[in-house]
Structure 1
Amino acid sequence: MNTRIPISKKLLHFWKLLGPGLITGASDDDPSGIATYSQAGAAYGLSTLWTALIAFPLMASIQQMCAKIGLVTSQGLTGALKKNYPKPVLYLMLLFSFPAIVMNIGADIAGMGAVGNLLFPKIEATFFSVFFTVILLLLIVYLPYQKIAAILKYLCIVLLVYLVVPFLYSQDWIRIIKATVIPTIKFNKDYISILVGILGTTISPYLFFWQASMEVEEMKHKNKHLMVDKKVIYEMEEDVDFGMSFSGLVMYFIILTTGTVLYNGGIHQIDTVEQAALALKPLAGNSAYLLFAIGVIGTGLLAIPVLSGSLSYIIAETFGWEEGLDKKFHEAKAFYIVIAISLLLGLSLNYIGISPIKALIYTAILYGLTAPVLIAIILHICNNKKVMGIYTNDRKANALGFIALIIMSVAAMTLIYFQFTDN
């Protein structure tokens, strides 16, 4: 008797297992992230491709720790901080996280608006920014968690467009492979700044909070919050690994696209995602331009709910408010009001003179300062048997975590140094 399971069923089963890890990974490639990767490719060609290989294991290890904290403790990262650390640590994280996430939201909304204007030139960018903000707010408030999760999950598919773009024109694949596996480091301020920017974009603190909170939401929905076992942990690790590898792959292909088309075309300065999309048009054709632009809007629709949601979880858990995307508005008013405020504040950045690029710089600085501290705390929690029981870190997780801590600490110090030195 043939008991082989068809490949289609295996793929469907795997797709059903994917959830918070996939969404978190995909949301990491938001419009502001795309701008950073585009800057790297345009300015330095293929010389930063290798960063995707370095970033993946570090991203995956930290996100797995955050997910495990959520699964084991049945509370978000903020709740774990509140319970096990002095309040000043919690309030310091809140102080840095709020403006950083709001500015990130603002930069993403502005990027989506600008790209919308590129696709439909007769309609102003500000109209698209307001339109996307209103649509996102309505969807987040009125849709139940499972619908939101399903929409976010399918929006991840939009990122596949970036895997197509480099194949629309000829490539020197031998040169690309060499650039991927042989690191290139240029010891000058601009190049090091790009490396710091890539790290800050890929290992972002808001993702730590979102990952832990979403695991709690998933367990509540499945009624498994008292049934954490090795199988649940294994499925979580599979989900996170896939999500982070997908994120790294998209990052790789965006650098590849801009590092070949724009760099070889003599365009070495890209400050915004719309500039990257527009620059591709005469060099790589309409197909590449349209796919790149559509991808920006899709990633914004995916990332902004993650950004605003993570901020709301942070604040709600800090002050003990009712929280959760699985709750209706009247059940968690403060939680949803924070989401609304974060979206409106992000939108307002377009009207008060803070440019998207400045917002990205300020965001990178704040993320750079908080990431090392948070990684250290996450490592401490995941090695605390009183909190994690039998699910404390193994040697591999600790090794990757400490490497991430060292790299992000060096990145933070480098970032601070560059802010106080002349060109």
Structure 2
Amino acid sequence: MGAVTGKGLADLIREQFGVRWAAIAMLALLVANTGVTISEFMGIAMSVQVLAGNVNTPLIYIVVPLSAVVLWFLVMKGSYRRVEIIFLLMSLGFLVYVPVAFAAHPDWGQVGRQIIVPTFSSDEKYLLAAVALVGTTISPYMQFFIQSSVADKGIHAGEYFYEQLDVYSGTIFAVVVAAFVIIVTGTTLYPIHHPVETALDAAFSLKQIIGPSASLLFGVGLFGASLLAAAVLPLSTAYGICEAFGFERGVSRSFSEAPVFQSIFTGLIILGVIVTLIPGLPIIQVLVFLQGLNAAMLPVLLVFIILLVNKRRLMGRRVNGLAFNIISWVTVILITILVLLWLLTNYILPIFTG
């Protein structure tokens, strides 16, 4: 849609459905992105815990606020692009999970069977993990970020193939790495029933295979990935909301020129820091819940996207085909059912069963 129309998703929702529906879409985006922004700052805190080797390290009260200030300054002063590649390279530490998966000697036959015919359970913990996995894999903010990026680059329909290749390759890369993370943790932690309740537990799966260097690789990778997203998320949220309602936007504008944009961006960063630094907060449990919340907001935005991409006067000959429509609607229905089951088993039924 970005290549065909030259407009961002928020802009199209307002134009095609009106301000009220745009408000609903932006509320879903704000709720989802607020949760994910908080989770990224929690990721920074977790990386500090891993590198320090101490869940209760006081260093998080220094590193997390300092990271927020540095990120805000880099983005607002237009220097973020210069250090973005550094954060990206740091996050590549997670690639170590690929060779480690082979070193862990999993039952590859079982892995293959579970990929083709995954196990389903109505257990509340399983549903929570499944919903969280959906929420962290198909993030609502990415739907806005990718389209706005295409529109801002001025990519036209004739160049769509190359942009499509870029998106597909990036998606496959992310999913493959995530799959190897699951394989490693499933092979090393599940047999000994080792729960993942802290950041150190998360790094333990690597430590089982590659020893003490696991903490360094995991910590640096998590730190880089969290910093990378902690800047992009509040920025894309501010751009999306301001785009939808016609507010001035841009990091080059002063507060007096773009007060709404600056307030959303700064407010999300501050909120992320405040929540992360709450003493005694069970970070892993909160992270999983926030990703579940992300998934709960996803169907709302996907419906808008599907309706837009089926408007022939908007998309012309690039309107969605039958196969893509079937896949899209089935995806929305399955995610909705999964979210409803999660809410039912984790929150609604416990109220009535005591």
Which interval holds the TM-score relative to the shorter structure? 0.7 to 0.9
Moved more, 78-87 or 152-161: 152-161
Q: Deviation of residue 187 (structure 1)?
A: 3.4
Aligned pairs (5 A) from 1:273-422: 273-278=199-204, 280-281=206-207, 284-324=210-250, 327=252, 332=258, 334-352=260-278, 355-357=282-284, 359-360=286-287, 363-418=290-345, 419-422=347-350
Alignment CA distance shift 1:116-1:217 (3 Å): same
Alignment CA distance shift 1:282-1:174 (3 Å): closer
1:378 is aligned with what amino acid?
A: I
Query: 2 CA distance for matches of 1:130 and 1:241?
Result: 35
TM-score calculated relative to the size of structure 1: 0.73
Out of 117, 120, 125, the residue aligned to residue 190 of structure 1 is: 125
Alignment CA distance shift 1:129-1:196 (3 Å): same
Aligned pairs (5 A) from 1:235-274: 235-267=162-194, 269-274=195-200
Aligned pairs (5 A) from 1:44-55: none
Aligned pairs (5 A) from 1:102-117: 102-117=34-49
1:303 is aligned with what amino acid?
A: A
Report Cα offsets for 1:252-309 as digits up to 9, x if no partner: 0111111111112330x21344431146435651233332222211210222222112
Out of 18, 24, 33, the residue aligned to residue 86 of structure 1 is: 18
Whether contact under 8 Å (2:128, 2:292) holds in the other structure is no
Report Cα offsets for 1:63-111 as digits up to 9, x if no partner: xxxxxx2222222111111111132222123333324322321222122
Report Cα offsets for 1:340-361 as digits up to 9, x if no partner: 2211111111345665346435
Query: 2 CA distance for matches of 1:328 and 1:168?
Result: 51
Q: Deviation of residue 239 (structure 1)?
A: 0.8
Q: Structure 2 regions of 5+ residues with no counterpart? A: none
Query: 1 CA distance for matches of 2:163 and 2:201?
Result: 38
Moved more, 100-109 or 152-161: 152-161
Partner in structure 2 of residue 33 of structure 1: none
Alignment CA distance shift 1:73-1:155 (3 Å): farther
Q: Structure 1 regions of 5+ residues with no counterpart? A: 1-68
Report Cα offsets for 1:331-380 as digits up to 9, x if no partner: 75643442222111111113456653464355345433321121111111
Alignment CA distance shift 1:214-1:409 (3 Å): same
What secondary structure is seen at the aligned counterpart in 2 of 1:139? helix
Alignment CA distance shift 1:99-1:355 (3 Å): farther
2:348 is aligned with what amino acid?
A: F
Whether contact under 8 Å (1:107, 1:346) holds in the other structure is yes
Whether contact under 8 Å (2:250, 2:261) holds in the other structure is yes
What secondary structure is seen at the aligned counterpart in 2 of 1:322? coil
Moved more, 138-147 or 242-251: 138-147
Whether contact under 8 Å (2:104, 2:184) holds in the other structure is no
Partner in structure 2 of residue 14 of structure 1: none
Alignment CA distance shift 1:76-1:144 (3 Å): farther
Whether contact under 8 Å (1:159, 1:295) holds in the other structure is yes
Out of 102, 106, 114, the residue aligned to residue 179 of structure 1 is: 114
Report Cα offsets for 1:385-409 as digits up to 9, x if no partner: 1222222112332222112111111
What secondary structure is seen at the aligned counterpart in 2 of 1:349? helix
What secondary structure is seen at the aligned counterpart in 2 of 1:183? coil
What secondary structure is seen at the aligned counterpart in 2 of 1:249? helix
Whether contact under 8 Å (1:141, 1:329) holds in the other structure is no
Q: Deviation of residue 245 (structure 1)?
A: 0.5
What secondary structure is seen at the aligned counterpart in 2 of 1:143? coil
Aligned pairs (5 A) from 1:136-147: 136-143=71-78, 147=82
1:421 is aligned with what amino acid?
A: L
Q: Deviation of residue 412 (structure 1)?
A: 2.2
Query: 2 CA distance for matches of 1:360 and 1:315?
Result: 24
Whether contact under 8 Å (1:321, 1:334) holds in the other structure is yes
Query: 2 CA distance for matches of 1:279 and 1:329?
Result: 46
Partner in structure 2 of residue 234 of structure 1: 161
What secondary structure is seen at the aligned counterpart in 1 of 2:62? helix
Query: 2 CA distance for matches of 1:130 and 1:149?
Result: 19
Partner in structure 1 of residue 138 of structure 2: 203
Partner in structure 1 of residue 30 of structure 2: 98
Query: 2 CA distance for matches of 1:265 and 1:370?
Result: 35
